[in-house]
Structure formats: structure tokens, C-alpha cells
Amino acid sequence: MHHSAPDNPLYLRFLQGRQDQPPIHKWHHYFEVYHQAFAPFRGRPVTMLEIGVQRGGSLRMWQDYLGPQARIFGMDIDPATEAHGLPGAKVFVGDQADPDFLRAALAEMGPPDIVLDDGGHTARQQITTFDVLYPAMRLPGAYLIEDTHTAFWGGPFADDPQGRSIYDVAFGVCQRLHEWTGRAGSMDRLGIPPGERGAADAVSDLCRTTESVSFFDSMILFRRGERAEPWHEVR
């Protein structure tokens, strides 16, 4: 049984292209989500950051998939992974739960178009990384967190000082998507053609720059993009 489409180039590479390559450890069903999230960036001069490098196999997979114009950076807490850095990029070695380390990596790398968080998978790591990196991304962009099933494991994975999991943060972003339409008093305004309204109502940057939040088994995908005020009408 195939868990991804047989013509998915990432999945084909995972299944068939492993000879003489560093190993890659992935759930099979992830490849459909990867292709859906990252296909629009193929062949473009994009910057990707993968958190969690292990033996470097997936860094090479992303380079092959996105193309020679893409810069593929890595991030890992293990100093040995620094040796897996790709030409024109590098592996940042440090703790993804350290905001200062994340900001220093951003300063060196520049704003990413794609972030894939396959790091330590604790609540504090996932939440801190999202809080720092997500607002710094380019538009459009894709921020994908994987192995989010650890949010249900408890124990050392439940280490956020406020008791949150990454799902609490993601649900909060879902709420922010509705800052325009969630105000009952705004419905009349949102029925006026956009060019006749004047300046848009103030909303948070999260609302204005997040197109969608998608949930999959063990994955959360945030799509970034510039949003305009919604418009409803009767025709």
C-alpha cells in the first residue's frame, strides 16, 4: 500500500533513491503533505530552513526537489551535524528553544520562505521556534511542523512553562484568522466593495499574513500570504 501518490517526486526519491545516500527517517504519509506545501516553491531562488538534520539525508532531498537556486539551511543541537551543511548554506548548531540563537540564525540566513520543524519535538521547542521564525518569514511562505503527535505524549515533551502544546498555539492562530469576520459589527462594512471602504480595519499581523492553518496526522501546516479584507455580496 502506497501512502503517497506514486508520481510524487519526493516519495519516489525516498522509496527508490537511497543507494549511496545518507539515510532519511520519515513517516510515509508525510510526503503528500510535503508536496502539497512545497511544490509552489520548486525552481525558485528560495531559502529553506530544516530544523533537525540527523545524518543530512533530507537536506540533500530538499535540494534535489526545490532545485539548484534554493538555499537549504539546517539547524540542529548536535555539533556533528555541522559537517552535513550544503554549499552556499550551513547547519546552525544550537538550541531551537533559545530565542537569541534563532534570531542570530535569521540574521545570517535572511528571512526564509520555507521552515520545516523536525527538531526536538517538545512543546517549548516547537512554540519558541514558531514565535520567533514565523513572523520573520517571507510572503508567500510555508511553515510546517512535523511529529506533532508528541503533544499528546506528556512527560518531557510537555515542557512549556504555561502548559501549552503546539496545538494551543495553532488553534490561537485559527482564531486570529477571523479578526475581520469575527466582529459582528463589521458585517455591514465587509459588504461594501473594497474600493469604497476606505482604510482597512486594523488586525494583527498574524491575521493579515496567514492564509490558512491545516492539520494532518502528526503535522500542522501554516501557509503565509498577504490577505485582504474579506468581501461578501449578493448577486
Residue 141's closest CA among 43, 226, 76?
226
Question: CB 185: neighbour CB atoms within 10 A?
Answer: 6
Q: Of 121, 149, 178, 232, which one is the catalytic site residue?
A: 121
- What does the alpha-carbon distance between residue 196 and residue 131 come to, in Å, rounded to a whole number? 35
Strands of the chain, DSSP E: 47-51, 71-76, 91-93, 114-117, 141-146, 210-216, 219-224
121 given a catalytic annotation: yes
CB-based contacts of 194: which residues, under 8 Å, 6+ apart?
Answer: 228, 229, 231
Residue 227's closest CA among 192, 196, 190?
190
- What does the alpha-carbon distance between residue 217 and residue 50 come to, in Å, rounded to a whole number? 20
Grid cell for residue 97? 528553544
The dihedral through the CA atoms of 118, 50, 29, 220 has a sign that is: positive
Is residue 40 helix, strand or coil?
Answer: helix
Catalytic positions? 121
